[in-house]
Amino acid sequence: DQQVKQNSPSLSVQEGRISILNCDYTNSMFDYFLWYKKYPAEGPTFLISISSIKDKNEDGRFTVFLNKSAKHLSLHIVPSQPGDSAVYFCAASGAGGTSYGKLTFGQGTILTVHP
Amino acid sequence: NAGVTQTPKFRVLKTGQSMTLLCAQDMNHEYMYWYRQDPGMGLRLIHYSVGEGTTAKGEVPDGYNVSRLKKQNFLLGLESAAPSQTSVYFCASSRRPPFGELFFGEGSRLTVL
């Protein structure tokens, strides 16, 4: 039972354009959402997060949107750069007291930004 | 500024052999985790620890054991390796929630023949 789903295995975008990566979740107890970026032969690195009390969080070129009613979040990268080419994982966490920081990850989306 | 360090980086085992993966963090984090990454599956939690001397099962704990004898170290053991345990293993650590950011190591690629 995949509680966090990234239905697009890959995405190809031209440099300078917008990249939109999508993520859906099924567990209504999730209240904190994160995006991680992973380059080959490296560990995932934290990119941006959003709490369930917000619907948008912005950090430079990266913006995460949360639609709680649809159980959907998205990551926007504007403008996209070739260095953004990586695997992007969506992750979710439940209520802090009982979740112990455990994250449930989606399958990942491979983003390729062409020069 | 090492962060989270995993050893070894690569290992090839024969079915039935045992081994231990070591994770060390220098950020004084309370929580530590072991994940495995398989194609098309994302990262799945194997075991985790909320403090020295404590461990708990994650989503896919079968065939693995863990120990957290020191706060900075979290060991993952395979007592009798199986081909299904061929994977890339990631260790992570975090401060006590509600801060949800996990810091990951570079990964350990294990192949079981």
CB–CB contact A34 B4 (8 Å): no
**pLDDT tens digits for range A6-56:** 999 999 999 999 999 999 999 998 989 999 999 999 999 999 999 999 999
Query: What confidence category does residue A79 fall into, taking pLDDT thresholds of 50, 70 and 90?
Result: very high
Q: pLDDT tens digits for B48-74?
A: 999 999 999 999 999 999 999 999 999
pLDDT-based confidence at B112, cuts 50/70/90?
very high
Structure confidence at residue B103 as a pLDDT band (50, 70, 90): very high
Cβ A23 vs Cβ A50: under 8 Å: no
pLDDT of residue B68: 97
**CB-based contacts of A69, cutoff 8 Å, min separation 6:** none
Which string of b and e fits B21-37 if b means at least 16 CB within 10 Å? Answer: bebbbeeebbbbbbbbb
With bands split at pLDDT 50, 70 and 90, how would you rate the model's confidence at A98? low
Q: Which residues from chain B sit within 8 angstroms of residue A6, using beta carbons?
A: 42
Consecutive H or E run containing A47: strand A45-51
Indicate the helix (H) or strand (E) that contains A99: helix A96-99
pLDDT at B55: 95
Task: Report residue A7: phi and psi, to 5°.
Answer: -80, -10
The number of residues making up chain B comes to 113
Question: Does the beta-carbon distance from B100 to A93 stay under 8 Å?
Answer: yes
What value does the mean pLDDT of chain A take? 93
Cβ separation B104–A43 shorter than 8 A: yes
pLDDT digits (tens, 9 = 90+) for B17-39: 999 999 999 999 999 999 999 98
Identity of the residue in A49, A100, A107 whose CB atom sits nearest the CB atom of B50: A100
Look at A103 and B98 and tell me if their CB atoms are within 8 Å. no
Structure-token match 């697009």, residue found: A8
Retrieve residue B113's tokens: 């023949």
Q: What is the pLDDT of residue A80?
A: 98
